[in-house]
Structure formats: structure tokens, C-alpha cells
């Protein structure tokens, strides 16, 4: 474990919805990492609600689309020499491919295995995506 306050260089994933930190931690396979990582849960944020934070003492490749889909409200801070070099606010991606699957049994993606599952964001607030082929709506 690394200290909660400081990180020399690496990544801090902040403003994760309380309880979702473990999901993102597992998605990034941080339990198998050979560098220091920390999952800090139920931190009281400035708005007086609870959040989770993940600290990674290493620079790793992050799939911002996938992270945005897991939790659109998170902020990713890239840390260099103990200061924030870049702050990235995530949001739901406009288009996702082979992440969500169409549930419509008559959809081409359900029939033909080679067809990629492509979805387009239709409602940011509700997290609704529309299938490119059959217009089926899926909520994430
Ligand atoms: Zn479909």
C-alpha cells in the first residue's frame, strides 16, 4: 500500500461513486499489479457525499472509454513529480463497440456472430444506448 496523501508519479482515479471502486480496481487487474496501488473507500468528498479513490504508483495505459462507461463521473489525474500534470474528466462514450450486447433476438448481431455490437449514446442522463442495427435501447 502507498500513502494516501502523496504519490510521486502515476495515476489517481478520483470521484468514483462509493462502492464502485472495487469494480474499477478489478477491471484494471490491479490486484495482480507488481507496483504499489491503493483502493481507498468511502472518502468524504467536499460535497459531503462518499466517494472511492484509486491510486496507482505507475503509469499504465487506461481505456478512458471503458472507464467512462463503468463510471462517467470519475476524474483521472496523471501525476508527475508529485503534482498533477493532467486532469481528465470522463463521460459516457458516444460510441461503443463490442462492450454492450444487443438483447433483441431478431437483431443481426444476435444471428450473425461476426457482426460487431455497435451502440450509440442517446441519453447521457439515463445512460441509454441505441443499437446501430435494430434501434434497441440498452441502459448501462
Ligand atoms: Zn440490435
Is the model's pLDDT at 124 over the cut of 80? yes
Q: Find the mean pLDDT for residues 117-127.
A: 95
- 65-85 b/e (C-beta count within 10 Å ≥ 16 → b): bebbbbbbebebbebeeeeee
Instruction: Write the CB contacts of 83 (distance below 8 Å, at least 6 apart in sequence).
Output: none
Averaged pLDDT score across all residues of the chain: 92
C-alpha 64 to ligand 1 mean position (Å): 24
- The alpha carbon torsion through 67, 124, 112, 27 (nearest 10 deg) reads 20
End-to-end CA distance of the chain: 32
pLDDT surpasses 50 at 3? no
Cα of 117 vs centre of ligand 1, distance in Å, is 8
> 53 C-alpha vs ligand 1 centroid, how far in Å?
35
**Ligand 1 midpoint to CA 135 (Å):** 6
Beta-sheet strand order (sheet of 75-80): 37-44, 50-56, 10-17, 75-80, 83-89
Map 69-112 to HEC letters.
Answer: HHCCCCEEEEEECCEEEEEEECCCCCEEECCCCCCCCCCHHHHC
- Interval between CA 108 and ligand 1 midpoint (Å): 7
At residue 5 the predicted structure's pLDDT band, cuts being 50, 70 and 90, is low
Centre of ligand 1 to C-alpha 94, Å, is 17
Cα(138) to ligand 1 centroid in Å equals 9
60 and 28 Cβ atoms separated by less than 8 Å: yes
pLDDT digits 0-9 by tens, 69-118: 999 999 999 999 888 999 999 999 999 999 999 999 999 999 999 999 99
Question: Cα-Cα-Cα-Cα dihedral of 30, 31, 33, 36, to 10°?
Answer: 80
What separation in Å is there between the alpha carbon of 66 and the centre of ligand 1?
Answer: 20
pLDDT of residue 55: 95
Average pLDDT over residues 40-61: 90
- pLDDT value at 1 more than 70: no
Amino acid at each position: 500500500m502507498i500513502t494516501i496523501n502523496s504519490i510521486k508519479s502515476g495515476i489517481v482515479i478520483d470521484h468514483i461513486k462509493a462502492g464502485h471502486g472495487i469494480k474499477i480496481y478489478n477491471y484494471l487487474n490491479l490486484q495482480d499489479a507488481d507496483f504499489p496501488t491503493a483502493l481507498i473507500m468511502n472518502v468524504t468528498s467536499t460535497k459531503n457525499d462518499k466517494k472511492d479513490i484509486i491510486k496507482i504508483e505507475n503509469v499504465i495505459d487506461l481505456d478512458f472509454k471503458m472507464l467512462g462507461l463503468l463510471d462517467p463521473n470519475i476524474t483521472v489525474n496523471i501525476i508527475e513529480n508529485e503534482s498533477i500534470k493532467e486532469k481528465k474528466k470522463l463521460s459516457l462514450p458516444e460510441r461503443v463497440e463490442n462492450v454492450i450486447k444487443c438483447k433483441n433476438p431478431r437483431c443481426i448481431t444476435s444471428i450473425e456472430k461476426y457482426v460487431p455490437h455497435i451502440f450509440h449514446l442517446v441519453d447521457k442522463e439515463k445512460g441509454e444506448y441505441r443499437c446501430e442495427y435494430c434501434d434497441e435501447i440498452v441502459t448501462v
